[in-house]
Structure 1
Amino acid sequence: MPVEFDFDDRVVLVTGAGGSLGSAVVKAFDDAGAQVCGADVVGPESEDFGLDPDRVCYHQGDFTDEGDVERVVDTVIDEHGRLDALCNVAGTWRGGDPLHETDEDTFDFLFDVNLKTMFLASKHALPHLQEAEGAIVSVSSRSSLEGGEGDGIYRASKAGVRRLTETVAEENRGTVRANAVMPSVIDTPMNREMMPDADHESWVDPADIADTVLALCSEATGVTSGAAVPVYGEA
């Protein structure tokens, strides 16, 4: 049975809005009536930008840079007067080498993009979310639950997302709900290109993950905070 959510008069900020998952989250909130503000390090002129900028209030910014994060959040508040939800979707994957062959730049890059963006966005959004008694949903990963070969730094950065989510939930109990989603392999053009021989039918559709993000920001999950929700599909 289809489920509909009403986000009229709600303001939502989505990081990583130009990617496959981010643009799906933007569409889900837009379809539900929210005023959606998207942010990404790349702009509409990039061939990797998958978002229709006409659907959202778009802000280009590097969310590994605190000054950029503060600027974007302040602009959202100046333009809309409030913030009801933050969706930390910005993230990426790197891997293929064992730990002893992984360079420091890869470590810094993955922790910056996957964890620092979530930390900075949450830090600057929280005062406004506390006023609105809003919600944060961040993207972790199924692989964060255990170690593995070749992508240990990625797994560690996504485990950090879960731990910071639990911290935000604990520090804001009764005021701001914070949860994470844990995808397995998301069905994106990039993943299909990287793994052409995989069973793509078992991968999870970004739109299905977006529906879960929507639910976690809604009153339907009003007693859920500090959770890491599996969104594995059949993978």
Structure 2
Amino acid sequence: MTVSFDFDDKTVLVTGVGGALGSAIAEQFLAAGATVCGADLVSPDDGEDFLLDDPDRIDFYQGDFTDESVVEETIDAIVEEHGGLDYLANIAGTWRGGDPIHETDASTFDFLFDVNLKTMFLASKHALPHIQDSEGAIVSVSSRSSLEGGEGDGIYRASKAGVRLLTETIAEENKGTVRANAVMPSVIDTPMNRDMMPDSDHSKWVDPADIGDVVVFLCSEAASVTSGAAVPVYGEA
């Protein structure tokens, strides 16, 4: 069955738009007719580090979303340019791990909580007043691994658990106005993950485009009764 969505006259902000997952989600929203605004620390001029094909199709804003002033200025600029903001996809994030807690540098804690959780908090904080006006939706990226502890990447897991809990909080605080949901990938099939795990069975990993389908669905009217959910997007992993 083919499923299609119509996001004509709707504006979405995708953070981390230059990454493998962010670019795939931007492509899905573009295919649905949305006006896509993308934000990232890297720019289209950074070559292989920016994975979105033909970035001229989006309204791109370069900036560090761990800096509240940058987030506020970016969202204000989007609203001024497009007359509002309907959806936010909090995709910016990364993974670090390998060491047990007693051998983990505090800088790793700061880095992961900044990139994975603080960006989600700041983008949601400044987007919410506008998304409340449009009665839109926010979708953020948590992780399957956030559901339990594990060896070597506890800080990453904790930061993604924070994303899930903030999602539930936003949903509770905005009942009937803004829907907030999270997706929980397992291992995403990205170039970085293939480089880190070359001997894994990549066929069981989840395709970023498939996660994009779920994100678009969660923003659509088809998910009008869904808020505060953490949706598994595990593939076969």
SS at match of 2:139: strand
Q: 2:230 aligns with which of 225, 228, 231?
A: 228
What is the letter of the counterpart of residue 14 of structure 1? V
Q: CA-atom RMSD, angstroms?
A: 0.4
Which aligned runs of 4 or more in structure 1 are off by greater than 3 angstroms?
none
TM-superposed deviation, 1:33: 0.2
What is the letter of the counterpart of residue 131 of structure 1? D
SS at match of 1:45: helix
Residue pairs, 1:72-83, within 5 angstroms = 72-83=74-85
**1:170 counterpart residue number:** 172
**2:13 counterpart residue number:** 13
**1:49 counterpart residue number:** 50
Q: What TM-score do the two structures reach when normalised by structure 2? A: 0.99
TM-superposed deviation, 1:26: 0.3
**1:40 counterpart residue number:** 40
TM-superposed deviation, 1:169: 0.2
**1:187 counterpart residue number:** 189
Q: 1:134 aligns with which of 133, 136, 142?
A: 136
Q: What TM-score do the two structures reach when normalised by structure 1? A: 0.99
Matched, 1:213 2:215: yes
TM-superposed deviation, 1:117: 0.1
**1:24 counterpart residue number:** 24
What is the letter of the counterpart of residue 185 of structure 1? V
**2:94 counterpart residue number:** 92
TM-superposed deviation, 1:175: 0.1
Alpha-carbon distance between aligned partners in 1 of 2:165 and 2:184, rounded to the nearest angstrom: 13
SS at match of 1:180: strand
Q: 1:117 aligns with which of 109, 116, 119?
A: 119
Q: Deviations over 1:17-36 (max 9, x none)?
A: 00000000000000000000
Q: 1:144 aligns with which of 109, 130, 146?
A: 146
What is the letter of the counterpart of residue 37 of structure 1? C
What is the letter of the counterpart of residue 42 of structure 1? V
Alpha-carbon distance between aligned partners in 1 of 2:56 and 2:4, rounded to the nearest angstrom: 23
Alpha-carbon distance between aligned partners in 1 of 2:126 and 2:83, rounded to the nearest angstrom: 15
Question: Unpaired runs of 5+ in structure 1?
Answer: none
Q: 1:161 aligns with which of 143, 160, 163?
A: 163
TM-superposed deviation, 1:53: 1.5
What is the letter of the counterpart of residue 7 of structure 2? F
Alpha-carbon distance between aligned partners in 1 of 2:228 and 2:45, rounded to the nearest angstrom: 37
TM-superposed deviation, 1:55: 1.4
SS at match of 1:154: helix
Q: 1:202 aligns with which of 194, 201, 204?
A: 204
